[in-house]
Structure 1
Amino acid sequence: MINTICPLASVEEVFKTGTGAIYQCSRKNCYWMEFAGSTTSFSVSDFLKFKKYIDQINIEKMLIDTARSSDFTLVMPYRTERCFLLSVQDILNLRELLDGAKFMIELNSVIKACLRSSLVAVSV
C-alpha cells in the first residue's frame, strides 16, 4: 500500500500486527503507519509524540463513563491530514502496534551500538 502512495520509497517493515503495520522509509527518514484502513506518514519526532499521546488516553475513564460520547475518542496526529475516531479496542490495538514498533526501533539501535563496539574491539 505504501509503494502506491510513494513509489520511490525504500521501506522496511519495523513491526506488524493483525490490525496494522509500521514501516521505516530510509529515503524520506520517516515512518509510515498502516492502521484502520489508511496510511499515515510521520517524521521521527512526530511518531514519538503520537505514541506518547496514544499512551496518555485514559481507557479506564472511557469504560467507566456512561455518556455515549465517551465510547470513542477523536485523534488527529501531528502534521498529518488524518483523523482517527477510535474505540477502546482500537486504542488497545494501536498501542500494541506503536509499542512493538518503538521496541523494535530501540532494539535495532542497541544492536548497532553493540556491533560498533565489537568491531572497535576486534580492530584494536
Structure 2
Amino acid sequence: MICPLANVEEVFITDDAAVYQCSRQNCYWLEFQGTTTSFNVRDFFNFKKKVDNIDIEKMLNDSARNCDFEIIMPFRTERCFILSIEEILQLRDVLAGAKFMIELNGVIHSCLRSRTLLAI
C-alpha cells in the first residue's frame, strides 16, 4: 500500500504492474503481484538491472526444478520476489516502460530549460 501522505504520480502502468513516483519522498513505488514496494531512485535502477540480467534462456533450457523460478531480494527493502519466467517478463515490461518515461521526462525538461534560457 502506498503511503496516504505520499504525493504520487503515475510513471508507467501495464495490465500486470505499475510504477509511481513520489516527489515528497523522492522514491518510486512498484505495484506488482498484489503488493507495493518502495525504492529510492538508485535502488530502483539497480533492481531493474538485476531483473534485466536474469538469464531466461537458461531458465527455459535447464530442466532442474530450481531453474523454474528466480529469487530477487532488492536492496533496502523487506520484499523478496519469487518470479516465474512469465512474471520476469511482466516485470521487465513495466520497468522498461518506467525507465523510458523517466528518461523522456528528463529530456523534455532539458529542452524546456534551454528554450527558456534562449527566450531570456
TM-score bracket for the superposition, by shorter chain length: over 0.9
Q: How many correspondences in the alignment? A: 120
Matched, 1:7 2:42: no
Q: What TM-score do you get using the length of structure 1 for normalisation?
A: 0.95
Taking only the aligned residue pairs, the percentage that are identical comes to: 64
Which residue of the other structure, out of 98, 101, 106, is the alignment partner of 1:104?
Answer: 101
Deviation of 1:68 (Å)? 1.2
In structure 2, how many angstroms separate the alpha carbons of the residues matched to 1:74 and 1:106? Answer: 28
User: Of 68, 76, 81, which residue of structure 1 is paired with 2:78?
Assistant: 81
Q: 1:63 aligns with which of 60, 63, 72?
A: 60
Q: Which portions of structure 1, spanning 4 or more consecutive aligned residues, are displaced by more than 6 angstroms?
A: none
| Equivalent residue in structure 1 for 2:40, among 29, 40, 43 | 43
2:22 corresponds in structure 1 to 25
Distance 1:84 1:48 in 2: 16
Structure 1 counterpart of 2:90, one-letter code: N
Superposed CA RMSD: 0.6
Q: Which runs of 5+ in 2 are unaligned?
A: none
TM-score normalised by the chain length of structure 2: 0.98
